[in-house]
A and B are shown apart, each in its own frame.
Chain A
Amino acid sequence: MGKYIIKRVAMAVVTIFAVATITFFVMNMVPGGPFMAEKAVSPQAQAALEAKFGLDKPLSEQYITYMKDLLHGDLGLSVKQRGRTVNQIIASKFPVSARVGGMAILLAVMTGVPLGSIAAYRRGKLADNIIIVFSTSGIAVPNFVTCTILMYLFSLKLGLLPTYGLTSWKHYVMPVAALALYPSSYIARLMRSSMLDVMGQDYMRTARAKGVSQRVSLFKHALRNAILPVVTYLGPLLAYTLTGSFIVEKIFTIPGLGSEFVGSITSRDYPLIMGTTIFLAALMVTMNVLVDIAYKLIDPRIKLK
């Protein structure tokens, strides 16, 4: 087990390092740099700015400096938001995204698991068919479509929910629902197929034969085993929620990290693009490792290599 964890963590560190390196060089491939867009910058001011951000040094030296700072957790200064470090921006914006994303993940799991189980239990019946239709279309609809349709219905037509901002619980309803639709459908499908698989196992028949009631056998035996694939999906789910937040935050004008990231791209704020990319990548890679390790801990059938 220890060996496996060490291996996975080492892989994760290498991956994060690779992402950071790729990000650094890709960003520096862009000719001109972040100060090109600004009007009427005199050559002296340009040179001063470049010196301030260390852009006058050779690329290899910049890379070493950046990596050194990165090891200390320092992501540098934002170019467009004067006087703010990338760390400050992330620290102020990430909690907002994490709240919305966390709620969406919770909602997705809490709806997807029961729906999938019901579909498997009522296989071939009306409930199963309804859930299949719902989950198949839920996967096909991109989340900007969900967002806009929700917004049209509940804000513009019914006037029930506010369209932008994040000040009351009402503001959370639509972004969380829009973000949760896809993973909820995915988990429902996953849960249905794994539940069907488990329900056909011998130990289920044994449990019934020794007199365990239908309900207990379903909850104690089937659900516990069938939920395992959902655990592996949690890693990709987090990645999905993070990238999904780019769209959701843009549409509902939520001041989170996703909208900050998109904004930094349109304003060509290179240090901020780099900082957020590395931060999000590190987050995803770390979550993937944790999920993988948790999965092996939960399911003793999986052999450790």
Chain B
Amino acid sequence: MAKLSFQLNADDFLPASASEKESLVVMRESVGFWKDGFRRLKRNKIAMVSLVVVILVLFISFVIPQFYPYTYEQQIRGSENLAPMQYSQTELTTMETGGKVFPHILGTDNLGRDYAIRVMMGSRVSLVVGIIASVLILFIGSLYGSIAGYFGGWVDLVMMRIVDMIYTVPDILIIILLSVALDQPLKALAMKPGFQWIQVVGVNLISIFIVFALLYWVGMARIVRSQILILKEQEYVTAAKALGASSGRIIKKHLLKNCIGTLIVTTTLQIPSAIFTESFLSFLGLGVNAPMPSLGSLASAALNGMNSYPYRLFVPALAIALIILSFNLLGDGLRDAFDPKLKD
């Protein structure tokens, strides 16, 4: 009969030597979430091209205007309605006397403002609106969705009924309604000390943000909730609960971190839709305030002179199509790379 022996060999518990470590065969470097995703993204040609386009657009609209010799509201006397690369009489004389004049690449508008810088600033406004709106949606939507998904039961029921209701409310109607209604209260608020920044940003822009924050988060909330419903059944959540972690901590540290792929993809795809809405509103005259251009308002202003200055319409129109298209394709690529399950 074999005797049970509890004797332990102390040598077994010594740190592994270099040769022993060597023998542990590493088949392949373990690939992390980010690395894996980026590897897949890099292989996607369309997504990479649109990523380059997005970076280029960001560069043109945020960096170049800082060094551009004209500003978007600067009216150059005598240079009204110039064609692309055309110089006015005064500019020609300064050039003859040896002065340097930066060419108006896209000409000037009817008030003598350089059109190229206006288009760049317009893209900047559109991008800022898209990005800020998406960040707002990200915060509200993910918080709401995760609370509803995590607590479940009647909390979930009530919260999701509210979402259903907001979902069926026609958003554009409410946006237009609110931008009309918020116009005067916000203007009044802008007069008060501490709120002057409202004037700078523009009343309409603020009401667009408010509306995005109020209405557009529902899609995000639904997606996050459905993810949380699956994730909360995982063992690590039970473990965290057993260790006494609070609900807030579990949501923040475990659940939301694990749906980061979904969050990134949904936010990226939200940017073009916000830009879409902003250009739509600006086109109707409900977007940014006057000297500040936006791609929608530029296109709208160019509509009347379409016969004589068609390029003034086409440049912002193409810019907007390009921005929306590249963000859409990048978002699709990110989804395939980071969150293949989300693909419809």
A binds B: yes
The interface stretch among B79-87, B134-142, B255-263, B323-331 is B323-331
What per-residue 1/0 map shows which CB atoms of A210-252 lie under 8 Å from chain B?
0000000000000000000000000000010011001100110
A227 CA to B296 CA, complexed, in Å: 35
A62 CA to B328 CA, complexed, in Å: 46
Interchain CB contact under 8 A, B173 and A26: no
A297 CA to B172 CA, complexed, in Å: 30
What per-residue 1/0 map shows which CB atoms of A15-49 lie under 8 Å from chain B?
10011001100110111100000000000000000
B168, B178, B300, B307: which contacts A26 (Cβ < 8 A)? B178
Interchain CB contact under 8 A, B280 and A273: no
Given the interface contacts A29-B185, A265-B180, A268-B180, does A11 sit within 8 Å of B173 by beta carbon? Answer: no
Q: For the complex formed, measure the closest distance between the CB of A19 and the CB atoms of chain B, giving whole angstroms.
A: 6
CB neighbours (8 Å) of B168 from chain A are: 11-12, 15, 284-285, 288
Interchain CB contact under 8 A, A26 and B181: yes
What is the interface of chain A mostly: helix, strand, loop, or mixed?
Answer: helix
Interchain CB contact under 8 A, A243 and B172: yes
Interchain CB contact under 8 A, B180 and A273: yes
Q: For the complex formed, measure the closest distance between the CB of B46 and the CB atoms of chain A, giving whole angstroms.
A: 9
CB neighbours (8 Å) of B296 from chain A are: 142, 144
Does any Cβ of B come within 8 Å of A91's Cβ? Answer: no
Interchain CB contact under 8 A, B170 and A284: yes
Please provide the chain B residues from 23 to 77 with a CB less than 8 Å away from any CB of chain A in the complex: none
Q: For the complex formed, measure the closest distance between the CB of B244 and the CB atoms of chain A, giving whole angstroms.
A: 37
Does any Cβ of A come within 8 Å of B313's Cβ? Answer: yes
Given the interface contacts A29-B185, A268-B180, does A144 sit within 8 Å of B283 by beta carbon? Answer: yes
Does any Cβ of B come within 8 Å of A59's Cβ? Answer: no
Number of A-B residue pairs having CB atoms within 8 Å of each other in the complex: 114
A250 CA to B328 CA, complexed, in Å: 27
A273 CA to B183 CA, complexed, in Å: 15
A23, A140, A145: which contacts B177 (Cβ < 8 A)? A23
CB neighbours (8 Å) of A266 from chain B are: 285
Given the interface contacts A142-B279, A148-B313, does A281 sit within 8 Å of B184 by beta carbon? Answer: no
CB neighbours (8 Å) of A239 from chain B are: 170
Please provide the chain B residues from 275 to 302 with a CB less than 8 Å away from any CB of chain A in the complex: 276, 279-280, 283-286, 296, 299-300
What per-residue 1/0 map shows which CB atoms of A121-144 lie under 8 Å from chain B?
000000000000000110111101
Interchain CB contact under 8 A, B170 and A265: no
* From A12, A29, A32, A142, residue with most partner B Cβ within 10 Å: A142
What per-residue 1/0 map shows which CB atoms of B152-185 lie under 8 Å from chain A?
0000000001001100111011101110110111
Q: For the complex formed, measure the closest distance between the CB of A124 and the CB atoms of chain B, giving whole angstroms.
A: 15
Does any Cβ of B come within 8 Å of A87's Cβ? Answer: no
Does any Cβ of B come within 8 Å of A89's Cβ? Answer: no
Given the interface contacts A14-B165, A31-B185, does A142 sit within 8 Å of B324 by beta carbon? Answer: yes
What 20 additional pairs, Cβ within 8 angstroms, besides A137-B321, A277-B174?
A26-B177, A26-B181, A27-B177, A30-B185, A136-B329, A139-B328, A140-B325, A142-B280, A142-B324, A148-B303, A149-B317, A152-B306, A156-B306, A193-B344, A243-B280, A246-B284, A273-B180, A277-B177, A285-B168, A288-B168
Q: Which residues of B contact A (CB under 8 A)?
A: 161, 164-165, 168-170, 172-174, 176-178, 180-181, 183-185, 188, 272, 276, 279-280, 283-286, 296, 299-300, 303, 306-307, 310, 313-314, 317-318, 320-321, 324-325, 328-329, 344
Q: Which residues of A contact B (CB under 8 A)?
A: 11-12, 14-15, 18-19, 22-23, 26-27, 29-32, 136-137, 139-142, 144-145, 148-149, 151-152, 156, 193, 239, 242-243, 246-247, 250-251, 261-262, 265-266, 268, 273, 277, 280-281, 284-285, 288
